[in-house]
Amino acid sequence: MSPRRETPMVPDAEFRSYYGLPVINPPVWEEREIAGYIFLGGLAGASSAMAAGAALTGRPGLARAAKLASALAMTGSMGALVKDLGKPSRFYNMLRTFKPTSPMSVGSWILAGFAPAAFIAAGTDLTGRFPRTGTAATLGAAVLGPAVSTYTAVLLADTAVPAWREGWRELPPLFAGSSLAAAAGVGLAAAPAGQSGPAVGMAVIGAAVELTASARLESATGLAGQAYSAPEAARLLRAGRVLTAAGAGGALAARLLGSGGRARPFRRRSIGALSRASGAALILASACTRFGVFRGGMASARDPQYTVVPQRARLDSGSAGGGQAGAGHPHVAAAPGHAGAVQVGE
């Protein structure tokens, strides 16, 4: 990428804090495991939907690639999720209860249904054994797959992490679009050339949704959205956008160039290579976007301004979180000369 200058970070908002320390405790989730899972889970969910589409429309090559990708991504996901637990040996406690108020509980149950279906779908496809069980598993995984791809947006939004919480409207479509594009990438990169047509459509729709939601995540979420301009997050999000656009554009170009039929072998090989490279770009783009979103949230958790400034504004405008602004709240006008990030005696 071109060495573009970073846009300046948020100008120091006037707010008060306790020695600049974070108000909330930042998540203890490891980036590689959790952001990695959110990427792989999204890819697996949308791939399973693509696998069913391919199976139902007579594209066995595309179906096999999608089922294998889904099963592989789920294997990685389950490993990452268990590894990130503080007590991995107690992973089964996730299924001790079902709590609709806990996106992680809901997600665990969705995965408990989805992962076996994805494994059976891939296993039966590879071995050719139990075809009817395989079809049922393929369809089952396709039904649960979209939920696997999008519930992780709620998982992040249902926290006190400002950049995730304020992005609760944008994260689900962003994750849906990013998952679609990633699965399309699998189809383009791994399926036989004649069967990857639908992946192009998925790539274009997914990229359009992802790019729109990604832009809104930063622009429509107030101060919290500016956490995504933290350098460590912005680099990845920008890479995600560039790769998404390039991947979808490349896939579409390859499709249009190849549609003339009777192309010469050299040209056919070039078009195939362009298609596969576009697929790889889309998969990488999805990973960049998810890791970027993860890092933006972490940046907003570490800096108290993202917690304090919007809440203070809410209080001062009389729309406190309880809906009963200032009810019985003996709030006194702030003393002058207190602005600044750290409140200490001079």
CB of 122 to other proteins, least distance (A): 18
Distance of CA 6 to the CA centre of its chain: 24
Q: Which is nearer to other proteins, 87 or 132 (CB)?
A: 87
d(CA 263, CA 274): 15
Q: Which is nearer to other proteins, 176 or 299 (CB)?
A: 176
Question: Is the separation of the CB atoms in 95 and 113 below 8 Å?
Answer: no
Which residue is associated with the tokens 């359009």? 208
CB of 1 to other proteins, least distance (A): 28
Q: Which is nearer to other proteins, 127 or 259 (CB)?
A: 259
Q: Which is nearer to other proteins, 102 or 229 (CB)?
A: 102
Question: Is the separation of the CB atoms in 289 and 236 below 8 Å?
Answer: yes
Question: For residue 277, what are the CA distances in angstroms to 186, 272, 294, 309, 327?
Answer: 11, 9, 26, 44, 60
d(CA 20, CA 255): 53
CB of 52 to other proteins, least distance (A): 8
CB of 72 to other proteins, least distance (A): 19
CB of 39 to other proteins, least distance (A): 15
For 76, the token pair is: 């990685």
CB of 245 to other proteins, least distance (A): 18
d(CA 237, CA 289): 5
Q: Which is nearer to other proteins, 10 or 154 (CB)?
A: 154
Question: For residue 217, what are the CA distances in angstroms to 26, 38, 168, 243, 265?
Answer: 20, 17, 9, 18, 44
Q: Which is nearer to other proteins, 49 or 285 (CB)?
A: 49
